[in-house]
Amino acid sequence: MEQINNVGGFSAKKVDDKTLILFFGPQHPSSGHMRIIVKLDGDIIVESDPDIGYVHRTMEKLSETKEWIKNSVLFERLAILDAGNVTQAYIIALEKLLNVEPPPRALYLRTILSEINRISSHLYGMGIFAIMIGSSTGYMWFFGDREIMVQLAERITGSRLTHTYHIPGGVRRDVSNAFLEELEKGLNYIERRLKDYEVMFVNNPIIRSRLENVGVLSRERAIELGVTGPNLRASGVSYDVRVEEPYGAYQFVDFEVPVYKEGDALARTFQRFDEIRQSISILRQLIKSIPEGPVLNEKYLKLFTKKMKDIWDAEKRVKFPSIFANLRPPAGKAYGRVEEGRGEIFFYLESSGEAKPYRVRVVTPSFRNSILLKYLPVGERLADLPAIYGSIDYFPPEADR
C-alpha cells in the first residue's frame, strides 16, 4: 500500500482493495481552500494527507518587491479575520529594525485591537466548527455576535477587517472616550451571550458526544509537532507569547493563560471560550487604565507639517510623514512574534538597508497547526474529520501564504 513508484514525474501508488481514497476538498462544503486526501478502511481513516496549497499568494516573494510600509497591507491579507494581530507582528519586527518604540497609549490601543480581534477570530472559528458538526444555530449565533467585535474594530480603525492600523512607532488613529464606553457595552453583551452558547452549543448533549475523546492530542505529541495556540494549551502546555515575550500593553494587565489537560476537541472548544473570557477581562482592565498621550513616536511627530498637525488635532488621525514612504531600516535582521487568535505568528525580517525587504519569512499558526491534519484524523471515523478540522480552528488562507 505504501509503495510509491516515481517514473518520469508520474507517480503511482499501490492501494489494497479495502482502502477507499477520498478527496476531501478543495470543493467540499467544509474543507475550505484546501484538500485532505484521506484513505478509508470502512469508516476509519487510515491515512490523511493534507494538501494545503490551494490559495498560495506568494507573499514572501511579493514582499521583496514592495516597500516596507506597503508590506503591512500585504501581510494582513494572511488572515483578514485576525488582521490586527498579523500586522502587529510585522510592525514589531520592523520597529526592532528601525529601533523605534511606540508611546504607551499606542501600545494600549494596539492591545485593545488585538483582543477584539482575538474574540472575533475565536467566534469565527467556532462558527465554522458549529456548522461542520451540523449545529446551524451555533453557526448563526457565533457569526452574528462576531459582528459586534468587527464593528468595534471598525470604530477604532475605520475598517472592518483589513485594519492597517499599526505603523512603525505607533498607530494610525486615536480613539475617543465614547468608543471605550461602546466597547464596555459590547463586552457585556458577549459575556452574557457566552452563557447562552454554553447551554446551546457546548453543553448540548449531541454536540458534546461528538467532541468528547475525538482527536485527542497528548501533551508530548503537541510539543513534538510544534503545535501552537489554543490547540497547544488545550493539550496541557501553558505557553502564550503574550506571557513569554510580552508586547503591547500585556505587561500592564493581569490575565491567566487557561489550560486544559484532555487535548480533545471538547477541550479545544472550552479553551476558546475561556480565552474569550480572559480577553474580556483584559479589555476591561485596558479600558480603565489607558493613559493619555500621543499615539505616534516623537521621532515621527517632529516631522509633522502644519497641515498634518491640523488634521491630527481635528480628527485624531495620523497623516503619514513622507519618511514612511521611503523607510530604509539599517541592514540587519529581526523577528517579531505575536499571539494571534489561532496561535503564534512569527515574522523574520532581513534588511539590506534598502527601501524593500531583503527577505521576509512568516510562519503562521495555521501552517504550524496544519501538521495536525496529517496526524490527528488517523484512526478516527470519517465523520470526525470535520470535527477535528473545525476544532483546531484551521484557516487555510493563513497556512498557505
Of residues 120 through 139, those in contact with other proteins by CB under 8 A are 130-139
Q: Which is nearer to other proteins, 181 or 244 (CB)?
A: 244
Query: From residue 30 to residue 49, what is the string marking binding to other proteins with x (rule CB under 8 A)?
Result: x------------x------
Query: From residue 345 to residue 384, what is the string marking binding to other proteins with x (rule CB under 8 A)?
Result: -x-x-x-------xx-x-x---xx-xx--x------xxxx
Residue pair 276/194 in contact (Cβ under 8 Å)? The answer is: yes
Of residues 325 through 344, those in contact with other proteins by CB under 8 A are 335, 337, 344
Q: Is 200 in the site for other proteins (CB under 8 A)?
A: yes
Q: How far apart are CA 336 and CA 350, in angstroms?
A: 12
Sole binder of other proteins in the list 41, 181, 203, 226 (CB under 8 A): 226
Q: Is 191 in the site for other proteins (CB under 8 A)?
A: no
Region label for 385, one of left (φ > 0), alpha (ψ between -120 and 50) or beta (otherwise): alpha
Bridge partners, residue 346, by sequence: 337, 363
Of residues 147 through 166, those in contact with other proteins by CB under 8 A are none
Sole binder of other proteins in the list 13, 58, 181, 218 (CB under 8 A): 58
Q: How far apart are CA 397 and CA 79, in angstroms?
A: 7
CB of 282 to other proteins, least distance (A): 21
- Among the residue ranges 21-29, 69-77, 290-298, 308-316, the one whose residues contact other proteins (CB under 8 A): 21-29
Nearest to 282 by CA among 259, 260, 256: 256
Q: Which is nearer to other proteins, 178 or 199 (CB)?
A: 199
Q: Is 110 in the site for other proteins (CB under 8 A)?
A: no
The residue type found at 367 is F
Torsion of CA 331, 168, 325, 322, to 10 degrees: -120
Q: Is 67 in the site for other proteins (CB under 8 A)?
A: no
Q: Is 260 in the site for other proteins (CB under 8 A)?
A: no
CB of 234 to other proteins, least distance (A): 13
Q: Which is nearer to other proteins, 194 or 303 (CB)?
A: 194
- At residue 366's C-alpha, the angle toward residues 53 and 126, to 5°, is 115
Residue pair 85/340 in contact (Cβ under 8 Å)? The answer is: yes
Q: Is 86 in the site for other proteins (CB under 8 A)?
A: no
- Among the residue ranges 98-106, 118-126, 140-148, 258-266, the one whose residues contact other proteins (CB under 8 A): 140-148
Q: Is 22 in the site for other proteins (CB under 8 A)?
A: yes
CB of 83 to other proteins, least distance (A): 21
Q: How far apart are CA 360 and CA 350, in angstroms?
A: 6
Residues that bind other proteins (CB under 8 A): 9, 20, 22, 28-30, 43, 51-53, 56, 58, 60-61, 65, 130-141, 144, 200, 204, 206-207, 209-210, 223-227, 232, 237, 239, 244-245, 335, 337, 344, 346, 348, 350, 358-359, 361, 363, 367-368, 370-371, 374, 381-386, 400-401
